[in-house]
Structure 1
């Protein structure tokens, strides 16, 4: 082999050309570095490849046997960089299309991508080597310090030289424990400083100014008897920022009382460590793409094998009997990121926004509140999540909610359960039926007050109590998953925008606002009744002829604002309907067809008196209806109704109201004085894909088509309430239960009859 030919071969190797097939495949190590690339955002102007060259044809030129090189244009570099961020390993077809678009040879494109991957790999290796050298130097210095301390021990009594063999371990045990706790506390503060963006004063440093460490304590601290990756010492920490002095991490935050386990510094230390770890994991899951997530017709689902590879330590967090549900969704909402985070950190506002999903929510403890800075807030929350059906049990979760400002216009909110941490004084908490693994969203500001929300919902739950009819809906993530959270948030933000921009000429401003508040109260009451939320104390109706398909419950209302006092009976049932969801929703809210199923209309036509739009969809609105009847008593009865629909489901809620009371509300009086017992319907997708429908012959045969050719089916839940007695202590009788079951059966029958089955 000549010298020139050897140089030619070396040049081919430099641009990535090789004759071995193995070299053409990216290795596992390449995958690891390619994963790092996905979280890297660099423009073409910052790339070192702007001045790169690529071999052309691999032939020697006639002048000096030198290779002929081709210099890429800035436009080509920019396009290659952009494509590389999405597809670091393009296939042959993608390379050919890219080369054709950029006027480049296919081999030039291939070599550019090989060189880019090699370049990135080298950069990461250099960075890791630098970190390893720093760690090596640190360990070497600690080793020297430890030897020095062992060489010159100091007697604790006289301060002079001492022989180590004469000291007993029992004498030094408190100092050893003290040094270990100092080091653990210092680690917690370092974590807070790293993730929360605020410089924190170490408690160990504060103690050292009053009680200087002895040589033994310094030696134990340097030896690092507590592992940096454990929380063994957290049970004895004294953390004023989480316990006795709320807001120490943020001096400007208002003082708030602390209650429960978090008022104890041990629990607070463990909670803040859990929240910071969860925040880090959420950011990774929200920003990482394939292979961690894969697309389905219902949205993005988690590749659990890849998740365990990235977060192996989290596999034991899920109880053995639980199954995992993890989804991701992205959407644009009509609110800026900071206002969105403020709403989420206010638990009452958050529950109001998601009233169809959050049955109950309470803030147990505000650990610190730094809204307005980079720290954000950290609080402990109890919540109850629901799907509007008696066939799906509510999920009860206690979790930490942490917010943090990532960058200008970018905020993160993460939720993570704490039940596995338990209470250090009372032991483990009772095992719930659901546990939140790191879940939440990243909100990034866009133009015109909009923001882009990337939502990750990751939970482990016990599915054994979910009815088979709702198993597809829940297991697909459409019941509690990320897509439902994003869709509901988009609808509520749109509703707020429409209400603020529209002017209702039928009502005064106070009357318009009063009716909106009344509608919110009615929908919330309906949702808590359908899911049998713990907001109310329920008793099972053990009399009457209610079948297994109808759930009948009673509750005793005593001086509850906004509802009548007495014995209230409720009934709810869910059925599968071979009707497209939108078609069924339009039928139920159509005032001209209402007399076909609603007993309140008494078979008469219904007219609309007031209409308040709550979205661009005509189905999202508040209405006041009345029957067109010659009977004065019937004309005095009005129907107050609110309806809405989005991609996750639809709701039609209504309640009978007195004409005189509604006149007061429309004139601006407080609507809380109007007693409501709402009834209505909730409609969800059935959660079945086309292939699953084919396996079920009954559903396949009964599948109907709408007028626009839409094929589909849905799950319909009907719920009704009646006041059976004005005396709360009154016993329930059989006639009331039979009347309730007859009412719900009659209504379902009439709806089916209207569609011809």
Structure 2
């Protein structure tokens, strides 16, 4: 038997040890202390009765010192045990077993705590499962208010079965672990269907522009879903997915050739085909439906991730999505991907002009992988959750089908179907908006195609021979593209009529109204410190969009319109192509001023174009900061004030052969710029700055010499 004086443990925990059994820790070697404590039976005198061992505990000082040492080193080696034993008057073996028992005691305490946590998680999962079962059994149809049969709102029934099977498996596993837990402590949380807490995700590219007030504006008209709403949301999502699949794959008579060479929806056939629908069209709203398709240079997995991640979605479609956030995730999907993912969102869609009101939508987004391997992502408005709500824009089932193609490509079929009150659209933009080209499927597909080409260019590992010599490394190329991406995002989120913008109208004689606003830049490393003034105006010019785009992006004609060049010669120092169109590129320009006392200035510029619109966006940059970026440094701390042009077609027109073609007529040109009016954030806008805006924003700006 071990001598009792080498133990210092709780009797309730170690009664077995006190009767002769020692509990051995899993990281210590088994070793008996019998030889040290008492002679063996063979060495004892048979006639002599064994002496009873004297029991005593370690002193308070010894325990205190070993407790302190345990906090620093719970696994002392032989040398440390010997030194500690000498200091405390103990044998090294006594020290060894005290630490061994202490570790065992701590492990037992941790096991009891983990068991309590696991039991709580178990009860939580059971309650969640029962709550969702009750909600599903009491679900009502949004059209007839009657009880919905579970087979009708299947989600697709297969998904519900998978979710319930997963929950049962989790409950069984947790119950088993709680009953006989002997392994290592668990460090991961158990998955469960989320509810109650909302997950706010804001677009990362706002660079401080989307403050709390802006978030409040976007959420002001949102009606938050309750627990009783969630079964209805599930049913709407399933019905919307079925409708999207048929809308995307059907031909005539549902879709007929339209005036703008795109498919047009036959509304009478639509009402006959989808009798169930999502409710009647509200009075005063105009129906707008379109469909388009394209082959995209991106695999289906990455495309689905872009659409289901609000930050990536807002960034890729920054010219269309001015603001977006995820309010609540009802399901994260199954099998480790987005199959079955369901999330409630709100977003604001724009045309790059302050003269076209944005369209705000509150909707549910549902992602599903179908039996044939095709992925589909569908949106449908949740405005019908409360019949009294008056919406200016409702989103009927809209979204896309993604089909995997060889070599990392995907075929995308996009459907846009909305009902909107667009009476506030400015007259010069009305033909474009009424044609469906401003917010339609072709704009989404063209933007996605162009952005995927840009992403492929940014991930290229080699430097093309066409790039100029100032970019000497792959890291420098990626940093320059990242800086340009932030510049474009900042421009797009600040040029439209978003409700986050406090635009003020200035009356400019002889031109359309100029919209201005001021922002205080204080803690944003991507902007210069002080008062930043933004101005934007839109007007029509009798020049085709392609010609206007080529003129504005050409550095040789820059001195004719850009006040930054100050009459100097503009030279291209770096050029990164990022698309099939030769105009899609990122450039670094240097202005060689005739004034020898003026330091040469650099301008970062990105130009991009597709069939639905073009952009030329630029910003002056500091030479020292740009040299850091070209060397592969972090571009997030380079201060930018983006300015530029958004060029849209004025609507469909006839080309020289009498064929309908987008952009064959004039152009709708939006000019926007930002200036630092004062380096002190508390300063106020002066009348001189307003006069400067009026002089810079006339019709000749960017268009007079085209």
TM-score bracket for this pair, using the shorter chain length: 0.5 to 0.7
Q: How does 1:523-538 map to 2 (within 5 A)?
A: 523-534=488-499, 536-538=500-502
2:248 maps to 1:286: yes
Q: How does 1:547-566 map to 2 (within 5 A)?
A: 548-566=512-530
Q: Which deviations, in whole Å up to 9, do the C-alpha atoms of 1:555-578 show, x marking residues without a partner? A: 333323411233222221212122
C-alpha distance in 1 between matches for 2:287 and 2:306: 28
Q: 1:642 aligns with which of 600, 606, 610?
A: 606
Offset of residue 428 of structure 1: 5.3
Identify if the C-alpha distance between structure 1 residues 348 and 305 changes in structure 2 by more than 3 Å, giving closer, same or farther: same
SS in 1 for 2:384: coil
User: Which among 401, 406, 415 is matched to residue 456 of structure 1?
Assistant: 415
The correspondence for 1:416, drawn from 380, 387, 408, is 380
Confirm or deny: 8 A CA contact 2:338 2:367 kept in the other structure: no
Deviation at 1:736, TM superposition (A): 0.8
Alignment of 1:311-460 (within 5 A): 311-314=274-277, 316-370=279-333, 372=336, 375-422=339-386, 431-460=390-419
The Cα shift of 1:447 comes to 1.6
Q: Does 1:467 align with 2:420?
A: no
RMSD: 3.2
CA 1:562–1:298 in structure 2 vs 1: closer, same or farther (change >3 Å)?
farther
Q: Is the 8 A contact 2:400 2:415 kept in 1?
A: yes
Do 2:565 and 2:593's aligned partners in 1 also have CA atoms closer than 8 Å?
no
Structure 1 residue 181 corresponds to structure 2 residue 138: yes
Q: What does 1:482-497 correspond to in 2, within 5 Å? A: 482-497=441-456
Say if 2:135 and 2:228, in contact at 8 Å, map to a contact too: no
Structure-2 separation of matches of 1:629 and 1:579: 30
Cα 1:264/1:673, change in 2 over 3 Å: same
Judging changes above 3 Å, is the alpha-carbon distance between structure 1 residues 180 and 486 closer, same or farther for their aligned structure 2 residues? closer
Where does residue 678 of structure 2 map in the other structure?
725
Question: Is residue 472 of structure 2 the alignment partner of residue 507 of structure 1?
Answer: yes
1:594 has 2:558 as partner: yes
Residue of structure 2 aligned with 1:191, choices 125, 145, 153: 153
Segment drifting more, 261-270 vs 277-286: 261-270
Show CA shifts across 1:419-451 (max 9, x none): 2214xxxx955x343111100011111121211
Q: Secondary structure at the match of 2:524?
A: coil
Superposition deviation, residue 179 in structure 1: 12
Number of equivalenced pairs: 511
Q: Which residue in the other structure is 2:627 paired with?
A: 663
Instruction: Evaluate the alpha carbon distance shift between residue 178 and residue 557 of structure 1 in structure 2; reply closer, same or farther with a 3 A threshold.
Output: closer
Check the 8 A contact 2:193/2:330 in 1, yes or no: no
- For residues 514 and 384 of structure 1, do their structure 2 counterparts lie closer, same or farther at Cα, with a shift above 3 Å needed? same
| Cα-to-partner distance string for 1:568-612 (whole Å, 9 max, x where unaligned) | 222212121221211111110111111111111111110011111
CA distance in 2, matches of 1:571, 1:488: 25
Provide the C-alpha distance between the structure 1 equivalents of 2:459 and 2:578, rounded to a whole number of angstroms: 10
Q: 1:687 to 1:542 in 2, by over 3 A?
A: closer
CA distance in 2 between counterparts of 1:542 and 1:614 reads: 38
> Which residue of 192, 198, 204 corresponds with 1:259?
198
- Sort the Cα spacing of 1:674 and 1:201 in 2 relative to 1 into closer, same or farther, 3 A: closer
Contact kept in structure 2, 1:253 and 1:369, CA below 8 Å: no
Contact 2:458 2:481 in 1 (8 A): no
Give the 3 Å change call, closer, same or farther, for CA 178–714 of structure 1 in structure 2.
closer
| Rounded Cα–Cα distance in structure 1 between residues aligned with 2:518 and 2:581 | 36
SS in 2 for 1:599: coil
Deviations 1:48-86 (A, max 9, x none): xxxxxxxxxxxxxxxxxxxxxxxxxxxxxxxxxxxxxxx
Q: Which of structures 1 and 2 has the bigger CA Rg?
A: 2
TM-score by length of 1: 0.63
Q: Distance in 1 between matches of 2:436 and 2:237?
A: 24
Confirm or deny: 8 A CA contact 1:611 1:624 kept in the other structure: yes
- Aligned to 1:420, the other structure's residue is in SS state helix
Instruction: Name the counterpart of 1:518.
Output: 483
Query: Aligned to 1:510, what secondary structure does the other structure show?
Result: helix
2:459 is paired with a residue whose SS is helix
Unpaired runs of 5+ residues, structure 1, are 1-176, 207-250, 695-704
Separation of aligned partners in 2, 1:548 and 1:578:
16
Answering whether residue 257 of structure 2 is matched by residue 295 of structure 1, we say yes
Partner Cα distance (1:566, 1:357) in 2 = 29
Give the Cα separation in 1 of the matches to 2:650 and 2:369.
Answer: 38
The CA distance in 1 between the partners of 2:230 and 2:509, in whole Å, is 52
Asked if 2 retains the 8 angstrom alpha-carbon contact of 1:573 and 1:719, the reply is yes
Segments of 5+ residues of structure 2 without an aligned counterpart are 1-133, 141-145, 169-189, 200-222, 464-468
1:479 aligns with 2:442: no
